[in-house]
């Protein structure tokens, strides 16, 4: 009953997180593969949803509504990356809107079914949470680098009062 | 003068004829630089007479302390090294690299001209010869040479002196750079009360020796010279072992000792100025009032200066800790990678002239100890 | 690029700015021509090298060569206006009288990448020193496997050389861009440039060479991503930057550990400097 393609996909996604085969099979029971076209919305900011996703092929854009600038694209996610961690943590509303950029193939996770699994099987639950934690750690590091504003010195600026340091640039 | 076969080296130059050595150098067009007493220290300056030499003066040196004491039986060269080194002549503290002039056709650019001065350095110690060898590797490289250093160096004449005394801050023995002068000189002198045992190290030196009123050296002369040279060896109290020094420096970059020394270090740059191997410099433009004539000037700089590592709006080494660590790990560590030799020659100047008396031999000993967990 | 005979690094050639292209606010590309025709022939530059540009009365700045046009005997320098020299250069613009010393430094080792997949990773204005390597690689396209450019910038309007992307793609360079901050209407990738390194496919670690240039913190994290994908540290090359006065290894300013960025670099092999990059304020 479990789609072998789903298991293969999960195995590839979880490869670095050392998730055991038995746990992968249990997770596969809650997953299915979906294909979306350009612009299709995975979930909206503010929505409480029971679905999370892993990107297999293509790109998903995250955006936040930031008045007066409107919808602002924050991050684009690619193959192997997790989209939406709130369902895993049972943590209320989504904090961003996710939409497909071009055609996208995803692994959709039914988070309600998955949470039942996590509650009842501690070992599997531990492995899955470890997997999610490592995905979030990678996301955090990437976010920090965005926050560091590494190209800050190159930002176009309005001319300021001259403050001559006199050094070679 | 009838040509004679050059005398065998070594010879003995009687004490009263030292002025002849200076005269021969001056007659050959050299500008003679030697030790003199000035500002309560023994410094290098132009001399034409032996009367300018610091005969009868001896230096007492300790971390952060330098004093001259009058000792009637002290010779011309009983003192050891002071705050000056010969680098200020080969690599001047200020030098013009080139000039630019605004003309009707736009700006023209000229390289600096060599002034043609030939220096004769009188009183060069073994550690200083080693330091010049180090700076040769810095300024005369396979790909680039510094033209001013190259020109002055090729014309310079070295009258070395073997130390017969060591200051408490000397440690050339452990650095294997002295105190005996072995190579790199044109003439080398060892002072005895009756005169100088003088040996040649080059054809130029042999030619000058041939013109001096020397006599044959005796067994007693040689024995006395050897005994006096040995004093410089046994009087050394400090040491900085060379073994595995490079590896030590580069494996201790986060050692707590750097925090400790940075609380004492004033980042004043004295050490880099007196050090005979330090070579850092900066280049800036100096314009005249109407902006038509510009000189490109190179001047000594120091890795201890705050903005030495300024880049793109920030300073990379923005703490004293970072700057002291850079100085010491460069001098005793990465210098080996860059120039295949140690950057320190054991002269002890940095120890003497540090206002707070930081002793790098002590710092290295502290770094050798494993950091506490 | 190698000169056997030791030379005087202070010799300069008079040059003039013939045209200026404003890339975006505060960043310009200056097209220089060396005035002395006989000097032009002797001036050979390799991708990744830099010149010291001198404005009399103001000073010198170390600026990487972003390209050259042999037909017009022009050298291109893309530079951000930051200090006294670049500010004066921007104000004087066309006709600015300069003296050029150079070229200096070790450039991109394209020969290390022949027969392999070559990935250029650029951050911000870091694409400027990489540009000559891209142009050269495309000129001898068949000597390389895959050629890819991964390019991150702060915002879409600070992406350099976009006008050349179509031609480069046509000549066989795959280009992926990403910005830290999207502006309205940006439909491309958003995020830090290391994400594109993580996601790059197809990717054969055993035959990939990478040339990276950008802010130092970016290059450190690119290195982490590259190593995590199985590329040996000896196949990643970084273009480093430090304060320079002499450009010949004499003044001491540009040292990073044992390396003089001006003569051992600016392009350095990652494994040679990795231990020094991790140390604070070195």
> Does residue B63 fall inside a structural domain?
yes
Cβ contacts of A165 on chain B, cutoff 8 Å = 310
Average pLDDT, chain C: 93
pLDDT per residue as tens digits for the range A88-130: 887 778 889 999 999 999 999 998 888 888 889 999 889 988 9
Do both B211 and B259 map to the same domain? no
Do both B86 and B217 map to the same domain? yes
Do both B218 and B264 map to the same domain? no
Nearest by CB to C154, which of A154, A165, A169? A154
CB of A119 within 8 Å of a chain C CB? The answer is: no
Do both B137 and B218 map to the same domain? yes
- Its domain, for residue B208, covers 11-91+113-234
Do both B201 and B350 map to the same domain? no
Neighbours of chain B (3+ CB pairs under 8 A): A, C
The conformation of residue B240, written as its DSSP 8-state character, comes to -
**pLDDT tier at A161, thresholds 50, 70, 90:** very low
Cβ contacts of B142 on chain C, cutoff 8 Å = 6
> Does residue B239 fall inside a structural domain?
no
Percent share of chain B, pLDDT over 90: 92
pLDDT per residue as tens digits for the range C114-163: 999 999 999 999 999 999 999 999 999 999 999 999 999 999 999 999 99
User: What does the angle CA C52 – CA C54 – CA C55 come to, to the nearest 5 degrees?
Assistant: 155
Give dist(CA C98, CA C75) in Å, integer. 13
Q: Total domain count for chain B?
A: 2
Do both B255 and B201 map to the same domain? no
Cβ contacts of C260 on chain B, cutoff 8 Å = 338
Q: Which A residues in the span 100-159 are in contact with B, Cβ-Cβ below 8 Å? A: 153
**Which of A167, A168, A169 is the mutation pick for testing B, counting most B CBs within 10 A?**
A167
CB of C14 within 8 Å of a chain B CB? The answer is: yes
**Which of C258, C260, C278 is the mutation pick for testing B, counting most B CBs within 10 A?**
C258
pLDDT per residue as tens digits for the range A128-142: 889 999 999 999 999
SS3 call for B308: helix
| Domains of chain A from N-terminus onward | 4-144 (2.60.120.10)
Domain stop point among B234, B266, B291: B234
> What are the residue ranges spanned by the domains of chain C?
13-104, 110-276
Do both B187 and B50 map to the same domain? yes
- DSSP collapsed to 3 states, C94-143: CCCEEEEEEEECECCCHHHCCCCEEEEEEEHHHHHHHHHHHHHHHHCHHH
Do both B221 and B271 map to the same domain? no
Q: Does domain C13-104 have CATH number 2.40.30.10?
A: yes
Cβ contacts of A153 on chain B, cutoff 8 Å = 312-313
Q: Which B residues in the span 27-86 are in contact with C, Cβ-Cβ below 8 Å? A: none
Of all residues in chain B, the one with the smallest CA distance to C259 is B338
Give dist(CA A28, CA A42) in Å, integer. 20
CA C5 vs. chain centroid, Å, equals 27
Comparing C-alpha atoms, which of B84, B165, B83 is closest to residue B353?
Answer: B83
Do both B266 and B130 map to the same domain? no
A163: closest CA of chain C, how far (Å): 9
CB distance C253–B280 less than 8 Å? yes
> Does residue B269 fall inside a structural domain?
yes
Do both B227 and B362 map to the same domain? no
Nearest by CB to A164, which of C84, C188, C245? C84
Q: Which A residues in the span 124-153 are in contact with C, Cβ-Cβ below 8 Å? A: 141-142, 145-146, 148-153
Give the pLDDT of residue A163. 44
**pLDDT tier at A155, thresholds 50, 70, 90:** low
Tokens of C210: 């990478």
CB of B280 within 8 Å of a chain C CB? The answer is: yes
> Does residue B108 fall inside a structural domain?
no
Q: Specify the range with the lowest mean pLDDT, choosing from A80-89, B75-84, B157-166.
A: A80-89
Give dist(CA B190, CA B77) in Å, integer. 9
CB distance C124–A151 less than 8 Å? yes
H-assigned helices in chain B = 18-27, 87-90, 126-139, 147-155, 172-175, 203-210, 219-234, 245-251, 257-264, 270-274, 320-329, 335-339, 349-353, 360-368
ipTM above threshold 0.90? yes
> Does residue B292 fall inside a structural domain?
no
Q: Does domain C110-276 have CATH number 3.40.50.80?
A: yes
CB of C52 within 8 Å of a chain B CB? The answer is: no
CB distance B301–C251 less than 8 Å? yes
Do both B85 and B193 map to the same domain? yes
The widest CA-to-CA distance across chain B, in whole angstroms, is 77
pLDDT per residue as tens digits for the range B181-220: 999 999 999 999 999 999 999 999 999 999 999 999 999 9
Do both B268 and B323 map to the same domain? yes
CB distance A153–B307 less than 8 Å? no
Average pLDDT, chain B: 95
> Does residue B288 fall inside a structural domain?
no
CB distance B312–A165 less than 8 Å? no
Nearest by CB to C250, which of B138, B313, B337? B138
CA C169 vs. chain centroid, Å, equals 19
Structure pTM? Answer: 0.91
């Amino acid at each position: 009953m479990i789609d072998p393609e789903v298991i293969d996909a999960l195995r590839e996604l979880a490869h670095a997180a050392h998730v055991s085969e038995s746990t992968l099979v249990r997770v596969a029971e809650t997953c299915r593969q979906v294909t979306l076209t350009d612009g299709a919305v995975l979930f909206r900011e503010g929505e409480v949803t029971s679905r999370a996703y892993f990107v297999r092929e293509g790109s998903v854009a995250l955006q936040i509504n930031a008045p007066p600038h409107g919808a602002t694209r924050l991050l684009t996610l690619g193959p192997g990356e997790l989209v939406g961690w709130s369902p895993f943590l049972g943590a209320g509303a989504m904090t961003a809107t996710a939409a497909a950029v071009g055609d996208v193939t995803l692994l959709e996770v039914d988070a309600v079914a998955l949470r039942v699994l996590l509650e009842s099987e501690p070992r599997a639950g531990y492995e899955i949470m470890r997997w999610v934690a490592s995905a979030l750690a990678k996301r955090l590091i990437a976010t920090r680098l965005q926050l560091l504003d590494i190209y800050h010195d190159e930002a176009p600026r309005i001319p300021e009062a001259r403050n001559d340091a006199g050094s070679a640039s | 003068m009838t040509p004679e076969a050059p005398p065998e080296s070594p010879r003995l130059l009687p004490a009263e004829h030292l002025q002849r050595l200076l005269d021969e150098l001056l007659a050959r067009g050299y500008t003679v630089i030697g030790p003199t007493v000035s500002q309560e220290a023994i410094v290098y300056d132009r001399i034409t007479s032996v009367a300018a030499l610091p005969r009868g003066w001896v230096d007492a040196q300790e971390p952060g302390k330098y004093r001259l004491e009058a000792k009637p039986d002290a010779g011309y060269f009983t003192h050891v090294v002071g705050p000056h080194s010969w680098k200020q002549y080969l690599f001047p503290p200020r030098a013009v690299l080139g000039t630019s002039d605004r003309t009707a056709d736009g700006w023209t650019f000229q390289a600096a001209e060599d002034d043609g001065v030939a220096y004769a350095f009188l009183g060069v110690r073994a550690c200083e010869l080693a330091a010049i060898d180090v700076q040769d590797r810095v300024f005369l490289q396979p790909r680039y040479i510094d033209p001013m250093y190259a020109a002055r160096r090729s014309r310079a004449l070295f009258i070395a002196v073997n130390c017969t005394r060591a200051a408490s801050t000397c440690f050339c023995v452990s650095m294997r750079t002295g105190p005996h002068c072995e190579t790199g000189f044109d003439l080398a002198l060892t002072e005895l009360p009756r005169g100088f045992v003088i040996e040649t190290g080059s054809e130029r030196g042999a030619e000058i020796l041939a013109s001096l009123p020397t006599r044959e050296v005796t067994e007693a002369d040689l024995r006395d010279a050897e005994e006096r040279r040995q004093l410089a060896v046994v009087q050394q109290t400090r040491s900085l072992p060379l073994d595995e020094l490079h590896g030590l420096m580069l494996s201790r970059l986060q050692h707590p000792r750097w925090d400790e020394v940075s609380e004492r270090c004033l980042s004043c740059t004295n050490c880099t100025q007196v050090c005979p191997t330090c070579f850092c410099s900066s280049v800036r433009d100096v314009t005249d009032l109407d902006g038509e004539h510009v000189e490109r000037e190179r001047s000594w700089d120091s890795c201890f200066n705050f903005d030495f590592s300024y880049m793109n709006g920030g300073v990379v080494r923005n703490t004293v800790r970072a700057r002291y660590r850079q100085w010491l790990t460069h001098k005793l560590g990465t210098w080996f990678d860059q120039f295949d030799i140690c950057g320190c020659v054991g002269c002890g100047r940095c120890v003497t002239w540090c206002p707070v008396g930081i002793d790098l031999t002590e710092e290295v000993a502290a770094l050798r100890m494993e950091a506490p967990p | 690029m190698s000169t056997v005979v030791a030379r005087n690094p202070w010799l300069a050639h008079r040059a003039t700015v013939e045209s200026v292209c404003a890339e975006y606010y505060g960043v310009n590309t200056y097209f220089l021509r060396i005035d002395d025709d006989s000097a032009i022939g002797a001036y050979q530059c390799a991708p990744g090298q830099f010149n010291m540009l001198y404005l009399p009365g103001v000073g010198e700045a170390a600026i990487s060569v972003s390209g050259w046009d042999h037909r017009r005997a022009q050298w291109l320098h893309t530079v951000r206006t930051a200090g006294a020299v670049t500010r004066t250069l921007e104000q004087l613009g066309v006709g600015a009288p300069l003296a050029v010393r150079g070229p200096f430094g070790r450039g991109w080792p394209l020969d290390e990448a022949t027969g392999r997949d070559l990935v250029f990773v650029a951050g911000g204005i870091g694409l400027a020193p990489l540009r000559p390597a891209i142009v050269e690689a495309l000129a001898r396209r068949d000597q390389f496997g895959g050629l890819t450019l991964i390019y991150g910038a702060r915002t879409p309007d600070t992406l350099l050389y976009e006008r050349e992307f179509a031609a480069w793609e046509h000549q066989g360079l795959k280009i992926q861009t990403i910005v830290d901050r999207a502006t309205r209407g940006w439909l491309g990738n958003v995020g830090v440039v290391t994400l594109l390194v993580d996601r790059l496919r197809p990717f054969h670690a055993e035959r990939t060479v990478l040339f990276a240039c950008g802010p130092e913190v970016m290059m450190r994290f690119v290195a982490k991503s590259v190593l995590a994908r199985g590329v040996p540290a000896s196949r990643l090359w970084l273009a480093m930057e430090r304060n320079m006065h002499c450009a010949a290894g004499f003044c001491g300013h540009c040292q990073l550990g044992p390396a003089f960025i001006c003569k051992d670099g600016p392009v350095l092999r990652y494994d040679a400097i990795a231990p020094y990059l991790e140390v604070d304020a070195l």
